[in-house]
């Protein structure tokens, strides 16, 4: 699940820093000799092997995991132990080491070196929000990674792009080093051009290799899903579990069915999904085994994965398939077992069309425009400057009588930097909209037009039940529950030191507290609410990440003012 990626990134970031420093030192001393490339490739392979060797121990160090011996695990969770025994006996592997993270954020992951020294971890949220069949399905999925030796396979798959990256960096620095020597010989020039070509091709191969590695990772997730379905002989168990984990559509067990239904009607009434006069039927349909939502809410949540253009964008760069894609594949597998799929996504397209029309291309292009507006304006400034300078040779005649001169350039550049500054402000205003309204998790999850750029301002009330990355000591984000579902809360401030102290001081204090959170709901690979204000435990905590987005505008205005000053004098 999601923690695999978090674990991978935590460890990889550390090794990336070591790699960059050592690479620079080695190049400085070894120079551009061909054998230096072999040494650097060897160093890259060594780093990968070291990372592979010690990553499991680092993960155990940075996550708060309770390890449970087999007999105790069987006594606590006999249904899970039965699944564990079945996999071990069928595949003749050593018993994995089992762990629990005491956090209500529902998640699971596995790590290790080989299938015979695997560690499998479930969070308390898996045990609390999923029924026993779904818990078994999640465990079987993780065990699928174990028996498929995905630890080794994915290490090799991701190692190939790293080797290509090493070749690209070496060729780039070698060409730069040779240019710096100032040799005018034809042979030196030819070698320099060859090195540049090698660097360009290697960078391209690295990029393509990285995308292929991500494709392989997504395929391995599908294989693990298939293993879960085959082991339990029912793909529906994992499908319904995915609805709860990925979309947070679980009902609060302490809330009556009547109250849950009121929240669902609020969440679906505005979507045109069904006639509110038929809400009397919702009591029968909406709370199924384990407290899941009506199919209408599930299909509305899944519609984003299936039809929002941002979903297709994120899928390319994701290690995991989008949840709705996995559910569709599990539904196809139901045919092999002669059973009816429980999660029917056939009406997702209709729901999407009712909310967003036939095509969402317009919204997507608008999002991209505002997301990259300052960059677009800066590029236009560069082109404008080039065309203006071409007036030197009479190729282009610009209006306003602005001939080529230093003074005129100061004026033009000053104006452009102010325009770029206003571009930053326009982007912030688009991404951080006003008009906060009280909403429920189900209200937010059923908004197909939400995106990482197009936010929904909302105020939610409920309880903080865990960390954003469960068990991770330095998680600065939190996990939230109201009577309609679960939601990831993104506190990230954007300044590392601030995030660090928030994670170690405030997050542990907030867990278990009733909270009122104001922020902007966004959809990416996972749905989340970006914090503006958290009110909990009689205190208010403000997040100024929105305000930091104005820094670009301030810098541009300062540069523009300086340019105007020199133009004026």
The domain boundary, picked from 112, 130, 149, lies at 149
DSSP 314-351: HHHT-SS--HHHHHHHHHHHHHHHT---SS--TTHHHH
Q: What global pTM score does this model have?
A: 0.84
Provide the β-strand partners of residue 472.
63
pLDDT digits (tens, 9 = 90+) for 214-230: 999 999 999 999 999 99
- 351 located within any domain: yes
Catalytic residue list contains 142: yes
The domain boundary, picked from 149, 169, 190, lies at 149
Percentage of residues of the chain with pLDDT beyond 90: 59
* Residue 274 pLDDT class (50, 70, 90 cuts): very low
9-36 average pLDDT score? 60
Catalytic residue among 134, 142, 299, 363: 142
536-550 average pLDDT score? 93
Of all helices (H) and strands (E), which one includes residue 530? strand 527-536
* pLDDT exceeds cutoff 90 at 166: no
* pLDDT exceeds cutoff 50 at 279: no
The domain boundary, picked from 149, 176, 194, lies at 149
* pLDDT exceeds cutoff 50 at 78: yes
- 183 located within any domain: no
Q: Is 517 helix (H, G, I), strand (E, B) or coil?
A: strand
* pLDDT exceeds cutoff 50 at 557: yes
Check which CATH number belongs to the domain holding 479 and give it: 2.40.50.200
CB distance 138 to 79 below 8 Å: no
Q: Do 263 and 351 lie in a common domain?
A: yes
Which tops the pLDDT comparison, 153 or 172? 153
* pLDDT exceeds cutoff 80 at 2: no
* pLDDT exceeds cutoff 90 at 96: yes
Check which CATH number belongs to the domain holding 97 and give it: 3.30.2010.10
Q: Do 544 and 458 lie in a common domain?
A: yes
Q: Which of 109, 122, 104 is nearest to 253 (CA)?
A: 104
Which structural domain, as residue segments, surrounds residue 474? 437-548
- 144 located within any domain: yes
- 8 located within any domain: no
- Report pLDDT for 9: 47
Q: Is 115 helix (H, G, I), strand (E, B) or coil?
A: coil
């Amino acid at each position: 699940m999601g923690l695999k990626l978090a674990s991978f990134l935590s460890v990889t970031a550390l090794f990336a820093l070591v790699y960059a420093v050592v690479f620079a030192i080695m190049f400085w001393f070894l120079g551009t000799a061909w054998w230096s490339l072999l040494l650097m490739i060897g160093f890259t392979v060594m780093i990968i092997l070291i990372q592979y060797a010690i990553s499991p121990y680092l993960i155990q160090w940075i996550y708060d995991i309770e390890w449970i011996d087999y007999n105790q695990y069987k006594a606590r969770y006999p249904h899970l132990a039965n699944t564990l025994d079945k996999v071990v006996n069928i595949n003749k592997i050593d018993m994995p080491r089992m762990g629990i993270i005491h956090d209500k954020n529902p998640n699971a992951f596995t790590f290790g070196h080989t299938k015979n020294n695997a560690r499998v971890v479930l969070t308390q949220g898996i045990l609390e929000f999923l029924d026993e069949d779904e818990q078994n399905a999640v465990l079987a999925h993780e065990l699928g990674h174990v028996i498929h030796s995905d630890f080794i396979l994915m290490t090799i798959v991701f190692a190939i792009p790293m080797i290509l990256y090493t070749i690209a960096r070496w060729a780039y620095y070698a060409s730069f080093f040779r240019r710096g020597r100032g040799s005018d010989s034809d042979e030196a020039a030819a070698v320099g051009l060859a090195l540049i070509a090698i660097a360009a091709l290697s960078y391209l191969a690295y990029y393509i290799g990285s995308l292929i590695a991500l494709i392989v990772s997504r395929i391995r997730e599908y294989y693990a899903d298939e293993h879960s379905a085959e082991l339990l002989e029912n793909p529906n168990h994992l499908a319904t579990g995915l609805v709860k984990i990925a979309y947070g559509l679980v009902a609060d067990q302490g809330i009556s069915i009547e109250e849950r239904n009121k929240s669902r009607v609020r969440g679906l009434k505005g979507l045109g999904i069904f006639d509110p006069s038929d809400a009397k039927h919702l009591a029968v349909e909406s709370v199924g085994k384990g407290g899941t939502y009506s199919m209408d809410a599930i299909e509305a949540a899944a519609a984003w994965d299936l039809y929002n253009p941002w979903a297709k964008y994120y899928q390319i760069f994701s290690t995991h398939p989008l949840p709705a894609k996995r559910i569709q594949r599990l539904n196809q597998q139901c045919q092999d077992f002669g059973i009816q799929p429980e999660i029917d996504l056939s009406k997702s397209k209709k729901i999407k069309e009712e909310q967003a029309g036939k095509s969402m291309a317009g919204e997507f292009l608008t999002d991209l425009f505002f997301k990259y507006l300052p960059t677009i304006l800066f590029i236009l400034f560069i082109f404008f400057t080039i065309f203006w300078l071409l007036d030197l040779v009479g190729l282009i005649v610009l209006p306003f009588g602005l001939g080529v001169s230093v003074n005129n350039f100061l004026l033009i550049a000053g104006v452009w930097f102010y325009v770029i500054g206003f571009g930053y402000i326009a982007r912030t205003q688009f991404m951080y909209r006003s008009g906060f309204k009280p909403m429920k998790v189900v209200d937010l999850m059923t908004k197909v037009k939400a995106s990482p750029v197009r936010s929904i301002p909302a105020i939610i009330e409920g309880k903080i039940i865990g960390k954003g990355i469960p068990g991770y000591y330095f998680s600065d984000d939190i996990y939230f529950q109201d009577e309609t579902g679960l939601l990831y809360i993104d506190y990230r401030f954007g300044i590392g030191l601030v995030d660090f102290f928030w994670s170690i001081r405030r997050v542990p204090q907030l867990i278990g507290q009733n909270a009122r959170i104001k922020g902007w709901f966004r959809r990416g690979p996972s749905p989340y609410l970006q914090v503006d204000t958290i009110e909990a435990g009689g205190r208010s905590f403000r997040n100024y990440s929105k305000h930091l987005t104005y820094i670009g505008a301030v810098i541009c205005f300062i540069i523009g003012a300086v340019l105007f000053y020199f133009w004026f004098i």
